[in-house]
Amino acid sequence: MTPMQRRAALAALGLGAAGFGAWWWQAQALPLAPAVRFTLLDGSTHDSVAAWRNKVVLVNFWATSCATCVKEMPDIVSTHRRFAGRSFDTLAVAMQYDPPDYVVQFAQTRQLPFGVAIDNTGAIANAFGPVRMTPTTILIDRRGQIVKRILGEPQFAQLHELIESLL
């Protein structure tokens, strides 16, 4: 085998391995979002599997006592409005330690346009991780798979690109 043929064979082998690696990575199942029941501030109860079927969903764990959560909430609202009507939904989950009257007041005064649930038992946060830090934002695709988990404030331009690619 000539040196040129050897390089061509190695290049072909490398491309084949890279192609297999890409296929293998794509074939790996992403973790499924847990099935949870949640009650919104309006008193309606929902099952996540039914409520989020065939939707891209942003779940934001937050607290009224979390300065970063309060700071990012206008961007969460903007994200929700940007993708609303395109099989996209948002759920803000207030942490177990957050006083319910603070959550209600926050949601009302800021006219949050999406569902807000109070995780008064910690069951939702435990099912998703457990989630211990706020803010924690989780993005779920149409198949119910968790495609992104963000601790702290998201880079919203990147988040919007990812949401767009999933819709």
Q: Note the pLDDT tens digit of each residue in 126-161.
A: 999 899 999 999 999 999 999 999 999 999 999 999
pLDDT digits (tens, 9 = 90+) for 94-130: 999 999 999 999 999 999 999 999 999 999 999 998 9
Strands (E), 9-163: 37-39, 45-47, 56-62, 88-94, 115-118, 136-140, 146-151
Q: Give me the residue spans of the domains in the chain.
A: 1-29, 37-166
| Beta-sheet pairing, 115-118 with 136-140 | unpaired
Residues 61, 73: contact at Cβ < 8 Å?
A: no
Q: Is 4 exposed, middle or buried (0-12, 13-18, 19+ CB in 10 A)?
A: exposed
Residues 150, 131: contact at Cβ < 8 Å?
A: no
Residues 34, 67: contact at Cβ < 8 Å?
A: no
Share of the chain above pLDDT 70, in %: 83
pLDDT digits (tens, 9 = 90+) for 31-51: 888 889 999 999 998 988 888
Q: Indicate whether this model's pTM tops 0.85.
A: no
Q: Average pLDDT of the chain?
A: 86
The fold of the 37-166 domain, in CATH, is Glutaredoxin (3.40.30)
